[in-house]
Amino acid sequence: MTVISAQNLDLTFQTNDGPVHALKGVSLDIEKGDFVSFIGPSGCGKTTFLRCMADLEQPTGGAISVNGTTPEAARKARAYGYVFQAAGLYPWRTIGRNISLPLEIMGYSRGDIAERVARTLDLVELAGFEKKFPWQLSGGMQQRASIARALAFDADLLLMDEPFGALDEIVRDHLNEQLLQLWARTEKTIAFVTHSIPEAVYLSTRIVVMSPRPGRITDVIESTLPKERPLDIRESSEFLEIAHRVRDGLRAGHAYD
């Protein structure tokens, strides 16, 4: 089943310096259960593409559907969870109450909320931190809490915009491993924006390489790695080969500027 389908998508921002082509002729299908990473230099439109899926930006041309409907209808049906680059937890809410925020807005019952908060905290290994305020947690833990917040209402689609971009390498490795386990357990479809090649290769079933001015897709790489991926798979020749293809794709995108 196709979860996201984009055909010939264009998005042009009108700025004072003239039009900026954030997306130009972008076509891509994401199947259910896929883990798709978008990689490319800044300005290549990867975040813009993700925001189009979330109905946070309106494309100026082409067509995009989410779950077979428009992004707007999907957003209104709360079809996806979105994780931003900054955890963006509300400082005046405890971790538990941050995770219950979408549930309160969506009108879940009190008992249901308590049960879901406990379950998702468990899922991101933050059980016991429910009563803590965000500033009492490390950056990595805050980002895990923000993932729990996106998972709390059981959307089948997870849109993640460089969620680990601001974290150090060690924490990032750990969270990558956890995210893979979570993806295997929940069988969600994940669209994941990153600018780290190892991260993209380690996590994805498919890697979409993009390039800037205008933002477009230059290569789509199917991963041949098994679904079970210990961290040391990153030293295997298969992994390095895929990483090499990604790097080649990125370089090709830069060739004419």
Partner 1 sequence: MRSGLPVLSVLAVIVGVWYLAVAPMNVRVALDQAERADAVIVPEGSVPRRDVSVWRLMLDNSDYVALGYALERPRLPTPGQVGAELWKTTGEMIAKGRPFSKRGLIYHGWITLQSTLWGFLLGTTLGIVGAVAIVYSRTAQLSLMPWAIISQTIPIVALAPMIIVLSSQVGVEGRGLPKAIISAYLCFFPVLVGMVKGLRAPLPAQLDLLRTYNASGLQSFLRLRLPASLPYLFTSLKIGIAAALVGTIVGELPTGAISGLGARILIGDQFGTPLAIWSALFAAAILAGALVTLLDLVQRLTLKRMGLA
Stretch that binds partner 1, among 32-40, 96-104, 181-189, 220-228 (CB under 8 A): 96-104
Q: Is 86 in the site for partner 1 (CB under 8 A)?
A: yes
State how beta strands 2-15 and 216-222 pair: unpaired
Binding characters for partner 1, 99-138, by CB under 8 A (x = yes): --xx-xxx--------------------------x-x---
One-character DSSP codes across 39-63: E-STTSSHHHHHHHHTTSS--SEEE
One-character DSSP codes across 115-180: HHHHHHHHHTT-TT-TTS-GGGS-HHHHHHHHHHHHHTT--SEEEEESTTTTS-HHHHHHHHHHHH
> Between residues 87 and 197, which has the closer beta carbon with respect to partner 1?
87
Tell me if residue 5 falls in helix, strand or coil.
strand
| Residues contacting partner 1: total by CB under 8 A | 25
Q: Output helix, strand, coil percentages for the chain, rounded to the nearest 5.
A: 40, 25, 35
Binding characters for partner 1, 39-68, by CB under 8 A (x = yes): ---------------xxx------------
Stretch that binds partner 1, among 21-29, 78-86, 174-182, 194-202 (CB under 8 A): 78-86
In the complex, the residues that contact partner 1 under the rule CB under 8 A are: 54-56, 75-76, 78, 80-82, 84-86, 88, 90-94, 101-102, 104-106, 133, 135
